[in-house]
Amino acid sequence: MSAAPETLKGKVVGGIAWNVVTQVVTQVSRIALGVVLARLLTPREFGLAGMALVFTNLLALFTDLSLGAALIQRPEVTEEDRSTVFWVTVSIGVAFSAGGVAASGLVAGFYGRPAVGPLFAVLSLGFVLNALSATQTALATRDFAYRRLQIREMSSVVMGTVAGIVAAAAGLGAWAIVVQSIAVAATSAVLIWTLSSWRPRFMFSAQSLRDLGGFGSKLFASRLLAYANLNGDNLLVGRFLGSRALGVYSLAYNVMFTPMVRIGLPLQQVVFPAYSRLQNEPERLRAVWLRSKRLSAAVLAPAFLAFLVVAPDLVPVVFGQKWHQAIAVLQLLCVAGVAHSLVTLNWSVLQARGQAGVLFRLNVLNTVIIVGAFALGLHWGVAGVAGCYAAARWLLVLPDMWVTGRSVHMGPIAALRSSGVAVPLAAAAALLAFGLRAALVAEGLPAALRLVVVLAVGALAYVGLVALAAPDIVRELRGLRSSLARGGGVGPTADGPA
């Protein structure tokens, strides 16, 4: 009985280890891209691309309808299931690519910016590219084939970065962001087909679609609401405050969101199939959930707090003085990020348990409060939107933990205490870094030097506090390092045929 848990643990740890490698490569690439684009593009150009991306991100939800997640969650899948999901997904992707091109004028009219139309039309081609890779990505995730997935992600991000930088240097303005997005989608589609041995068959099963669609439709509704939570601010800012304001907000949001996207979302990708394997064993699922949440919060919370402290130096030094309005926005969004670090991986538990209806109702609550906060914040500009979002995020922590904890028979306070042990330590290190920065400002130290010194001292303080007060986290991180040294620790079977 002990062999199965160890095998699952090895796959999860190996997946996290592969994500560490991926994050190093992709983060360097994305930082390079972000800095170059911020230097070469104006806030208005950033905002125009952001306007188009808001709608393409919305329509992208429809190209999969969460059928891929249903494949991952099911204990067993057949060839009919796989091929049915593939053909349905590709058909929807083709339809949305064509529809996106046709609707580009309507999107431009919504914002009152004709330049947005062509950007949206070209970005719509990404729907069919993403649809072509969605099913094979889901199957690789289900089979814990993290090496295959991470090689694909690293390569696509690097190719997209190169394409975006070349386009920006050529003076293409907002089109540079479009070029980068399409390059990532195209490279991802080509690589997942190259690295995966599974090929769809010419078969379709209405029964499979009904079975998978029952779970997928509820999960899709939740993802649609989650889109409103994540993109409602961009939509409202672009519509009511204009392209320049959206450019400022987007830069700050992308900097804040980086830790969550580059750490939190890949971690969810790793743990969801593992959670699904334990869906009928609540006690074991609870233990794995708390363990992964503890590690996630130990990495995410200090990252958000670090950005909050150094934002006044980070923005002008890295992106330039023209982005000074983004400083306050970034700091307020980081406050929201700390709250989010406490609930990361919660929804993965509800998905794994098959409680898509519960997840949907939780998302309704989140959407009403968060979108309402966005709308309220418009009165005070982009900083008001960020501030109201932060308040809403903290307000929702306890309800989120209560709903998820109940699924695994645990109270919300106990879950917070167990999974968020590193957050107070991160706050203490941040206070030390804040005081140090204030002293360095008084001494007249240049901003670039302050940035380096404050980050280094804050990181050392945090590591020291964790080593003293939370040695379990240190042991978990050492386990990841050992797994990484062994090449992922997953073994040959984890990267086999999908």
pLDDT in tens, 230-287: 778 888 998 899 888 998 998 888 877 765 655 666 566 666 666 777 777 878 888 8
What percent of the chain is modeled with pLDDT above 70?
83
Inform me whether the pLDDT recorded for 484 exceeds 60: no
pLDDT digits (tens, 9 = 90+) for 59-106: 666 656 677 777 877 778 889 989 998 998 899 889 888 998 999 999
**320 or 20, which is more confident:** 320
- 53 and 181 Cβ atoms separated by less than 8 Å: yes
Which residues, in sequence order, are CB contacts of 323 under 8 Å at separation 6+? 38, 43, 248, 251, 315, 316
435, part of any domain: no
Give pLDDT, residue 5.
Answer: 45
Listed in sequence order, the residues at least 6 apart from 330 whose beta carbon sits closer than 8 Å to its beta carbon are 252, 255, 256, 307, 308, 311, 314, 315
Domain that holds residue 416: 3-422+470-495
Q: How many CB atoms lie within 10 A of CB 452?
A: 12
CB 340 within 8 A of CB 260: yes
Q: What's residue 134's pLDDT? A: 86
Distance CA 50, CA 373 (A): 20
DSSP-based helix, strand, coil % in the chain, nearest 5? 85, 0, 15
pLDDT above 70: residue 413: yes
What is the pLDDT, as a whole number, of residue 260? 64
| pLDDT band for position 381 (cuts 50, 70, 90) | very high
Supply the pLDDT for residue 314. Answer: 93
Q: Could you tell me the pLDDT band of residue 434, with boundaries at 50, 70 and 90?
A: very high
What does the alpha-carbon distance between residue 489 and residue 468 come to, in Å, rounded to a whole number?
Answer: 28
Instruction: Please tell me the predicted confidence (pLDDT) of residue 360.
Output: 84
Q: Are 149 and 118 in contact (CB under 8 A)?
A: no
6-59 pLDDT, tens digit each: 455 555 555 555 555 666 666 677 777 878 888 888 888 888 888 888 777 766
Average pLDDT value for the chain? 82
pLDDT score at 380: 95
Whether 407 maps to a domain, the answer reads yes
Burial 388-398 (b: 16+ CB within 10 A, else e): bbbbbbeebbe
Decide if 360 is inside a domain.
yes
Q: What are phi and psi of 31, to 5 degrees?
A: -65, -45
Please choose, from the candidates 280, 299, 392, the residue with its C-alpha nearest in 3D space to the C-alpha of residue 345: 299
Would 436 be classed as within a structural domain?
no
Worst-scoring range by mean pLDDT, 155-159, 274-278, 358-362, 445-449?
A: 274-278
Is 349 in a helix, a strand, or coil?
Answer: helix
456 falls within a domain:
no
In-domain check, residue 465: no
The whole-angstrom separation of Cα 395 and Cα 244 is 30
Tokens representing 248? 């400022």
Task: Please tell me the distance from the alpha carbon of residue 227 to that of residue 148, in angstroms, as a whole number.
Answer: 27
**DSSP H or E stretch at residue 264:** none
Cα dist. 19→26, 199, 233, 388, 452 in Å?
Answer: 10, 26, 29, 32, 26
In the chain, the N- to C-terminal Cα span, in Å, equals 26
Residue 397 predicted with pLDDT over 90? yes
pLDDT at 70: 77
Instruction: Indicate whether 479 pLDDT > 90.
Output: no
Predicted pLDDT at 429: 96
Instruction: Return the pLDDT at 15.
Output: 54
Total domain count, the chain: 1
CA distance 337 to 106: 33
pTM: 0.70
pLDDT in the model for residue 491? 32
| Burial degree of 434 (CB within 10 A; 0-12, 13-18, 19+) | middle
The answer to whether residue 439 sits within a structural domain is no
For residues 178 and 46, is the Cβ–Cβ distance under 8 A? no
- Kindly tell me if the per-residue pLDDT of 432 is higher than 70: yes
Determine the pLDDT at residue 292. 81
pLDDT at 24: 61
- Residues whose CB falls within 8 Å of the CB of residue 410, separated by 6 or more in sequence, listed in order: 286
